[in-house]
Chains A and B, each alone.
Chain A
Amino acid sequence: MDLTWDEFIVTGDPFILAGQISILFTTVAIIFVLTYFKKWKWLWNEWITSVDHKRIGILYIIAALLMMFRAGVDALMMRTQLAAPNMPFLDAQHYNEIFTTHGTIMILFMAMPFLIGLMNVAVPLQIGARDVAFPFLNNLSFWTFFMGAMLFNVSFVIGGAPDASWSAYMPLASNDLSPGPGQNFYLLGIQISGIGTLATGINLIVTILKMRTKGMKLMRMPMFTWTSLITSLIIIGAFPILTVALAMQTFDRLWGTAFFTLQDGGMPMMWANLFWLWGHPEVYIVILPVFGIFSEIISAFSRKRLFGYTTMVIAVALISGLSFLVWVHHFFTMGAGATVNSFFSVTTMLIAVPTGIKIFNWLSTLYKGRIRFSVPMIWALGFIPNFTIGGVTGVMLAMAAADYQYHNTYFLVSHFHYVLIAGTVFGCFAGFIYWYPKMFGHKLNERIGRWVFWIFMIGFNICFFPQYFLGLDGMPRRIYTYFPEDGWFSLNFLSTVGAFMMGFAFVILIYSVYYSYRYEKRETTGDPWGVGRTLEWATASAVPPHYNFARLPEVESQDAFWEMKQKGVDPNDIDEYHEIHMPNNSGNPFIMSSFMFVAGFGLVFHWWTIAIIGTIGIFACMIQRSFSRDDGHHIPAEEVRETEEKIKEGHMNGY
């Protein structure tokens, strides 16, 4: 690709210039702080190369919060542009770029990493394991995700952002209609981070199936572990479709093949078909773990066993099967005919059955429970009604005939924000707050937490509820402006106010992280909420030592830790310590992923030399890993004893 310098670096837009300057300053500031406080070695040894599942989980969550900030700013810019008719804030091209990056980042680089982060933190602890099955792979998963996400994110300052929406329909995303490197960033960024997701799926399945502690039968597993297992199965089923589809579109764009082109016998609609064959299971990938999180929280803070555990498991399994049978409802209007549309209409409505079962199970768990309204619990209670509104409008959209009216209107936009925010985002926040003491050794401030919940929840409804009516009034999605005669002004303005409330709540949430770090009391027990039912609360200290359990707990029933507490058994009352076998840290994944970034960057601009250098680097890292012998290390029993005694005296907490 022949580019001049002013094409390589995006110029001419004041917002992007501001972005470039702030990126530059932030980078300089981070480098300065790390150098001044001599933290480079610490960063490398303790975090970048760490294979500890809890630390990798924290890295995932930090990255997800960063991405939530970035895509959230995108959302606020969109809402500002739409606040009034004929707004001169953004031009059409810039608006297209922003809704593309907002969607892609929120789904792939915010929701998924946030949930994978929480799984990383909680799942090994919940099943009573010391780490995941493949710790090296876990670190590699994080770094491939991170490098892919960064490759996607630099696009708006270098080369230009993709502008064909997150679904990147062909032929719009082809070279003819989307020239330049933007769409290539989308293809390669997602491709690279997809490697990490797939690896995480494999890792979690093996971990959950093979590394459960003694007595932890499948039907005794905590619900979050169950949903993580089934989510991982969906990942393994669905992500290869995305990998192949992305590779085919990459070939179309870089090497002139004709899989999805208009000319030479290509089938543009096959892209839509393959994209949603992955895309629909994907939305269950980001919602099922959330169901697990809420099941844990509702059961814990109602201080009751989860109602209908078995039906819950069956419902999740059914949803995972059905998730592969509904993808056509994303393009009912493509013209596949009445038989096809009716079939997918029915399968889509069927989804409401297992989901409804789960809603009633949660309500029944609450019934006659001794409910404690802690912050995670109010998120869970906010989730149930808000998510149900999203679900019911989903059933409305599922009717193929009616969908011809709703298709591509704000009604749809509102529907999927009601399920993705009231479901996924509420769940991420709830899980984040619930397991926060597990990660950092202190809770998030309760008073600020309540403010965050109410401002976010009310802002969310003010933002998206009017959009149902905008949709019914005929406002299409993905338009950058409208006229006063359209009559969409008041509802749009209201919606924008709500969006800024959500943005404000996010800022307070981040502030509460800082505030709580300064002022919250440090937890001294492994069960800071006092209502823990599952094994992650059975550790000796709030933040478990890096080997998690000095002695692996034994499980006799569901809700193992609750049973222990009822019987007065202390799982950390240990007479004799044994040595513990743990995996070694490795710098290889970070370097390998960096080469992936280099290779991807080369491909984006058709700079073959750089792409080849990057690829050689990737293979060199793989070879290095294959030929190195790494059996991990043993922590001597004496060291375990010392650590445990320090914990009991309260000397160890937090990172």
Chain B
Amino acid sequence: MNIVVLIKQTFDTEAKIAIKEGKIVADGVTQIINPYDEFALEEALRIKEKSGGDVLVVSAGGEKVKEALRSALAMGADRALLVETEGAAVDEGIVASALAKAISGLSYNLVLSGWKAIDDNSAQVGGRVAETLGLPQVNVVTQLTIEDGKALAVREVEGGTETVEVPLPALITAQRGLNEPRYPNMRGIMQAKKKELKVVTLSELGVSGAPQVAVKNVVLPPAKQAGKLFRDDVATSVAQLVQALRNEAKVI
């Protein structure tokens, strides 16, 4: 069973977001593996431990993404591949086609990724890669069984779950609840340094073209305002409150 796991490096959930000239400042921000992708990786490792095979972890991004790939190798992935996009203008479509291109020539039975990344929440890449490669896909999966060349996936639907069966190879995107990702041990950390980490560029993959999506502006949510207290006697306070609700908050 050869498994490809697509991961993205994202900001830590507690990172302080600062914006400069319409762009998010990444300096000094702690970067982690997108938690949903970690579920995907963990699932791949468990399948491998059960039925053998090879886990290749693939990501797109700049030099810093190598840290995320090394972490994935420390967790137990066998090889890593970085699609270098440093300096290139990319959107989800370009990233997805680059990833699809990068793995299209490989022999694999299963592609796993998180159902979305916690930074932009666009949930595009998994689906696009599956479409590009012509793979059946099951999204938002919380339980996965691989058997007899088929994948049996339980996915969340509104108000319940749905069990879907697809033939392999297929692409599955992971939702929270699929598993609890492991903590790498020393053996993993030491071996990760020696494992293969290949880099390919967009041009080597023959991926070009302008992004179809442009970010027009990025703004921080307005800072939370302090609450307003009405401290006069009850009658006056109520009158002031009603006025404020009507004129300032415009809710009544």
Partners in one complex: no
Give the A-binding residues of B (Cβ under 8 A).
none
